[in-house]
């Protein structure tokens, strides 16, 4: 039985002050919620405050939205794994489609980051997903396989269990257009089959695969009830404490 994991990806939103007021409201909303992993990925600037406010909470964990694979040095604007660990960060989102598309990240680069994260005891949330052109050409399975094989090269079975995969069809991100539950389940099952090829079935069965792309309180329960959907990576709807809490509650129920 895989425990559901619901993560907020705030992207380039929320100041330190916004983070404080969000957490105050959100904590009240999820006071009675149990049996689900809750993760919040604020911008780097709010990580320290979020960790401080959470005070080592097991219930809500902190994630970064990116990091660099080198340990230190002349890499202006970058953040290392050790810097995140110092702030009690537990997860790191890697290979988000905005990083791939806007900042030109390749599977080879993402792979280096995944390896460094795992070696630094940070759990990667590795994002994969096809564009609209790729889906219309019927290439989504092939694209997912290429991204998974490239980004997970050299990852052991033991490490894969620590990794979360986020399937995020690019055409569903921030567009209000969600994949149907059938489309999502189909891709999740395919992702799991590729993970089994990379390791073995028992390992692939343990890996949590989140769905991302316009997840909202209104569609979360349906998506999360699918056999291979083990959580959600939520952008827009995670900025509001009430709607994010509703999605978390759906995760606890399903
Ligand atoms: P969205 O973003 O929920 O706003 O579509 C999801 C994501 O990019 O992780």
| pLDDT tens digit sequence for 142-153 | 999 999 999 999
Better pLDDT: 23 or 173 = 23
β partners of residue 125: 93, 164
| pLDDT tens digit sequence for 53-95 | 999 899 999 999 999 999 999 999 999 999 999 999 999 999 9
Cα–ligand 1 centroid distance for 210 (angstroms): 12
Instruction: Output the residue whose Cα is nearest ligand 1's atom 1.
Output: 235
- What average pLDDT does the structure give for the chain? 97
Residue with tokens 């604007």, as numbered in its chain = 77
Written as six digits, the tokens of 190 are 């395919």
Average pLDDT of span 23-39: 97
Instruction: Output the residue whose Cα is nearest ligand 1's atom 3.
Output: 235
In this structure, the dihedral spanned by the alpha carbons of residues 195, 251, 119 and 52, taken in order and rounded to 10 degrees, is 170
Written as six digits, the tokens of 253 are 């129920």
Asked about 168 being catalytic, the answer comes back as yes
Q: Residue 126 pLDDT > 90, yes or no? A: yes
Cα–ligand 1 centroid distance for 190 (angstroms): 21
The minimum-distance atom of ligand 1 relative to the CA of 234 is 3
| pLDDT tens digit sequence for 233-246 | 999 999 999 999 99
Cα–ligand 1 centroid distance for 114 (angstroms): 21
State the pLDDT at residue 176.
Answer: 83
135-141: which pairs have CB atoms within 8 A and are 24 or more residues apart? 135/169, 135/171, 140/169, 140/187, 141/187, 141/190
Q: Residue 12 pLDDT > 90, yes or no? A: yes
Q: Residue 179 pLDDT > 90, yes or no? A: no
Helix 181-198 × helix 140-151 angle, to 10°: 40
pLDDT band at 174 (very low <50, low <70, confident <90, very high): confident
State the pLDDT at residue 177.
Answer: 85
What is the 3-state secondary structure of the chain? Answer: CCCCEEEEECCCCCCHHHHHHHHHHHHHHCCCCCCCEEEEECCHHHHHHHHHHHCCCCCEEEEECCCCCCCCCCCCCCCCHHHHHHCCCCEEEECCHHHHHHCCCCHHHHHHHHHHHHHCCCEEEEEECCCHHHHHCCCHHHHHHHHHHHHCCCCCHHHHHHCEEEECCHHHCCCCCCCCHHHHHHHHHHHHHHHHHHCCHHHHHHCEEEEECCCCHHHHHHHHCCCCCCEEEECHHHCCHHHHHHHHHHHHHC
Written as six digits, the tokens of 104 are 């030109």
Domains of the chain: 5-253 (3.20.20.70)
Average pLDDT of span 156-167: 98
User: Residue 218 phi/psi, 5° resolution?
Assistant: -70, -25
State the pLDDT at residue 178.
Answer: 84
């Amino acid at each position: 039985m895989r425990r559901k994991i619901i993560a907020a990806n705030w992207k380039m939103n929320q100041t330190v002050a916004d983070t404080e007021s969000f957490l105050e409201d959100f904590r009240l909303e999820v006071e009675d919620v149990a049996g689900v992993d809750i993760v919040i990925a604020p911008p780097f600037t709010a990580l320290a405050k979020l960790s401080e406010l959470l005070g080592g909470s097991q219930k809500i964990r902190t994630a970064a939205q990116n990091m660099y694979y080198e340990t230190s040095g002349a890499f202006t604007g970058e953040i290392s794994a050790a810097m995140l660990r110092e702030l009690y960060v537990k997860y790191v989102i890697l290979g988000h489609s905005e990083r791939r598309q806007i900042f030109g990240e390749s599977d080879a680069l993402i792979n280096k980051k995944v390896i460094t994260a795992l070696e630094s005891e940070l759990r990667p949330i590795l994002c994969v997903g096809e564009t609209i052109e790729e889906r219309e050409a019927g290439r989504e399975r092939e694209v997912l396989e290429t991204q998974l094989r490239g980004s997970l090269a050299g990852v052991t079975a033991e490490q894969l269990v620590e990794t979360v995969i986020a399937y995020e069809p690019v055409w569903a991100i921030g567009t209000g257009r969600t994949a149907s539950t059938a489309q999502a389940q189909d891709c999740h099952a395919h992702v799991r089959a590729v993970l089994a090829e990379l390791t073995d079935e028992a390992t692939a069965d343990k890996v949590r695969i989140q769905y991302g792309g316009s997840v909202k309180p209104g569609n979360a329960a349906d998506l999360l009830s699918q056999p291979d959907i083990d959580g959600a990576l939520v952008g827009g709807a995670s900025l509001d404490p009430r709607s994010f809490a509703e999605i978390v509650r759906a995760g606890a129920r399903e």
